[in-house]
């Protein structure tokens, strides 16, 4: 049976590792800040009626000509940059978590079935996964987004933008889970405890759910952690290209795109601070995911 790390033991390892502790702390701080954005943001970036053009393009508080009401300055519409970052990060994380949850669920299910059943079903699922893997994530995401834009009416595209983004990112990422879970299932399925469960008359579904699945969750958790950062980055890329979240529901990528349009006019803070927030979020999640992989799979070290 595959060895697993108990949550309490993993927690002690996190506390004992500066790399894990710092990366997990930064990621947790950013995620919690985004989750509680409605309560901690100084202003509501969606309340267009509260914007004042007299407050537009104000620099950060440590630069001459700033306003203490706006810690990181304002954009060209007078919107508080800090509040926009908190709400934008919230949108990016919703897309990231949802895409990871969908791709992990689909990939784990297909990997379990392929590894446990084998035969022609295994061959078909894995060849289909190989086909999907041959296309870059961004290319498939652009294709899905383009199809959605052609099918949905212009007046509803903004309403469904977040769902299209989630689908566009998740549709390519399930293959990593499927291939990993299939390999782990093949190993677990050949062990004595699974053979004993079959002899005892347990159904295939019960064996998969109660015996195999709990013992293959470690690599799934590792992949999901790393893919969260990649999903947020993919969302930011699509939004920066103009095929992601609309201006009325800005994500970090949308904010970077808006700021980039005014970068050469001297309003550098509108693009720099959202970009820094994106880098910190993706980097901290990826570093923690890399450490988690080593902790849950010590033989890889």
Q: pLDDT tens digit string along 255-274?
A: 888 888 777 777 888 889 99
Backbone angles phi, psi at 176, to 5 degrees: -65, -45
pLDDT given at position 145 = 78
Residue 159 has pLDDT above 50, yes or no: yes
CA distance 54 to 63: 17
User: Which tokens is 295 given?
Assistant: 């902790």
Residue 179 lies in a domain: yes
Q: Is residue 7 part of a domain?
A: no
Residue 277: inside a domain, yes or no? Answer: yes
| Measured distance CA(252)–CA(91) in Å, rounded | 8
- For residue 92, what are the domain limits? 22-300
More reliable by pLDDT, 123 or 10 = 123
In a domain, 9, yes or no: no
φ/ψ (deg, to 5) at 74: -130, 165
Residue 65 lies in a domain: yes
Q: How confident is the model at residue 276 (pLDDT cuts 50, 70, 90)?
A: very high
Give the pLDDT score at 1: 43
Residue-wise pLDDT tens digits, 5-23:
555 566 777 777 888 889 9
- Can you give the pLDDT at residue 217? 84
Confidence check: pLDDT of 2 > 50: no
What pLDDT is stored for residue 144 in this prediction? 82
The answer to whether 81 and 88 are in contact (CB under 8 A) is no
Instruction: Tell me, yes or no, whether 16 lies in a domain.
Output: no
Report how many domains make up the chain: 1
Which CATH number goes with the domain that contains 258? 1.10.3720.10
């Amino acid at each position: 049976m595959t060895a697993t790390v108990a949550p309490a033991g993993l927690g002690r390892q996190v506390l004992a590792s500066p790399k894990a502790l710092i990366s997990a702390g930064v990621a947790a701080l950013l995620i919690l800040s985004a989750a509680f954005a409605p309560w901690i943001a100084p202003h509501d970036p969606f309340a267009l009626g509260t914007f004042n053009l007299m407050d537009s393009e104000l620099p950060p508080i440590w630069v001459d000509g700033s306003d203490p009401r706006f810690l990181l300055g304002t954009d060209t519409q007078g919107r508080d940059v800090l509040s926009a970052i908190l709400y934008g990060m919230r949108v990016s994380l919703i897309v990231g978590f949802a895409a990871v949850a969908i791709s992990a669920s689909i990939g784990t299910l297909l990997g379990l079935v392929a590894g446990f059943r084998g035969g022609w079903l295994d061959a078909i699922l894995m060849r289909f996964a190989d086909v999907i893997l041959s296309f870059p994530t961004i290319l498939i995401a652009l294709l899905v987004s383009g199809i959605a834009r052609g099918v949905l009416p212009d007046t509803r595209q903004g309403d469904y933008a977040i769902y299209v983004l989630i689908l566009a990112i998740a549709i390519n990422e399930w293959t990593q889970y499927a291939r990993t879970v299939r390999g782990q299932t093949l190993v677990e399925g050949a062990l004595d405890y699974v053979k004993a469960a079959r002899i005892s008359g347990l159904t295939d579904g019960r064996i998969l759910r109660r015996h195999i699945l709990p013992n293959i969750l470690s690599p799934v958790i590792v992949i999901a952690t790393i893919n969260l950062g990649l999903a947020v980055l993919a969302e930011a890329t699509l939004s920066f290209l103009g095929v992601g979240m609309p201006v009325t529901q800005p994500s970090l990528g949308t904010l970077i795109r808006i700021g980039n349009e005014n970068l050469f006019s001297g309003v550098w803070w509108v693009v720099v601070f959202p970009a820094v927030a994106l880098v910190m979020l993706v980097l901290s999640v990826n570093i923690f995911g890399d450490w988690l992989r080593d902790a849950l799979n010590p033989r890889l070290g």
